[in-house]
Amino acid sequence: MRQAGRYMPEYRALREKYSLIEICKTPELALEVTLQPLKFGFDAAILFADILLLLEPMGAPFDFVKGQGPVVHEPIRTRAQIEKLRVCDPEEGLAYVLEAVRLIRSELDGKTPLIGFSGAPFTIASYLIEGGKSANYRLTKQMMWSEPEAWQMLMRKVSEVVRRYLRAQVEAGAQAVQLFDSWIGSLSPADYEAHVQPFVREILQDVMTLGVPVLHFGTITSTLLEAQRDAGGTVIGVDWRIPLDQAWNRIGHDYAIQGNMDPLLLCAPPEVAVARAREVMRLAAGRPGHIFNLGHGIIPQTPPDTVKAVIEAVHAYTHEG
């Protein structure tokens, strides 16, 4: 999940001077921001980057617009545009991310593991087609249903970039990688299985041969958990809408699970947040393979002290056995 960001005064101070994209493109700044949240005591560091960075080298530049979120300058709506998208080599178009991975790894010096990540093809395709965030994914679903060949060409191109990008991050030193399919919860199981799962499977089956843990995350996945697991990943990430024990029973205890506290609980009184974090731990029942995490990204209004209190509570619970 997002771990650094606007809830931290140190991050906001840096953002006064640099844009989000400038931070991502400058390995020394990406390093600084990656390290910022570690003072709270996290067990792993997450690379500071964004799932949309690969849009630019693919030939679909975008910006983050204040108050609006990501905006793709020329959304991809036609077959001719899809044909022009580049299946780029991450060592060229995303070299700055790989440089940041190397720099962060050398700075962490084996003390804290580094998690790399990428967006998954459906979630990336939704930004390419809609041009930004979307309430109902109308244009994305329209292409999926009415132009299956164009959809497949788009998904194949994005998938190949994602596969290469995750591989390159592991080769640069990432000790685990996470695939964010944040918006798959908008699909029915049948549509997920027909139009998305084969592409995700191809990526994950390949990346899983690298021998590092592969986290496969989605939200609103209560009806998709089995299909998501079958697409691949050694760890399945779940949001808070399903109790952790129910999700784990469905996924199977031979898989690891990541989750799943509601990130808004960090805006509740600290004692409430801590009690609810302990409840997630209780549902995990001390089994090996539970990674405590939020069920989705941290929001900017989060009080940093509550983040610290929850991390301490999770560590204390683990030591209580």
Minimum CB–partner distance for residue 177 and ligand CP3 (Å): 11
Task: Tell which one of 182, 293, 302, 306 touches ligand CP3 (CB under 6 A).
Answer: 182
List the catalytic residues. Answer: 2, 6, 15, 50, 127
Out of 30, 52, 58, 100, name the contact with ligand CP3 by CB under 6 A: 52
12 vs 138, beta carbon nearer ligand CP3: 12
Upstream peptide bond of 260 is cis (omega within 30 degrees of 0): yes
Tokens of 28: 């020394």
Residues 104 and 32: their CA atoms lie apart, in Å, by 9
**Subset of residues 183 to 212 that bind ligand CP3, contact rule: CB under 6 A:** none
Q: Say if CB 39 and CB 311 are below 8 A apart.
A: no
Residue 223 phi/psi, 5-degree rounding, is -95, 0
Query: Rule CB under 6 A: is residue 46 a binding residue for ligand CP3?
Result: yes
Residue 70 near ligand CP3 by CB under 6 A = yes
Q: Does 297 bind ligand CP3 (CB under 6 A)?
A: yes
Token output for 103: 């720099």
Residue 15 interacting with ligand CP3 (CB under 6 A): yes
How far is residue 119's CA from residue 308's CA, in Å, rounded to a whole number? Answer: 27
Stretch of residues binding ligand CP3 (CB under 6 A), selected from 41-49, 96-104, 241-249, 308-316: 41-49
Kindly identify the residues of this chain, within the stretch 95-154, that bind ligand CP3 according to CB under 6 A: 117, 133
Tell me the site size for ligand CP3, rule CB under 6 A: 21
Using CB under 6 A, which of the segments 50-58, 93-101, 255-263, 278-286 binds ligand CP3?
A: 50-58
Asked whether 140 and 134 are in contact (CB, 8 A), the reply is: yes
- Cα separation, 255 vs 18, in Å, equals 40
Q: Decide if 210 contacts 167 (C-beta within 8 A).
A: yes
Sheet holding 214-218, edge to edge: 45-46, 114-119, 176-181, 214-218, 235-237, 256-261, 290-294
Stretch binding ligand CP3 (CB under 6 A), from 48-56, 161-169, 193-201, 274-282: 48-56
- Is residue 180 at the binding interface for ligand CP3, with CB under 6 A as the rule? yes
Q: Can residue 4 be called a binding residue for ligand CP3 (CB under 6 A)?
A: yes
Stretch that binds ligand CP3, among 63-71, 76-84, 154-162, 281-289 (CB under 6 A): 63-71
Enumerate long-range contacts of 279-288, CB under 8 Å, 24 or more apart: 280/244, 281/314, 281/317, 281/318, 283/243, 283/244, 283/245, 284/244, 284/245, 284/248, 284/257, 285/245, 286/321, 287/248, 287/253
Q: Kindly tell me which of 15 and 102 has the beta carbon lying closer to ligand CP3.
A: 15
Residues that bind ligand CP3 (CB under 6 A): 2-6, 15, 20, 46, 48-52, 64, 69-70, 117, 133, 180, 182, 297
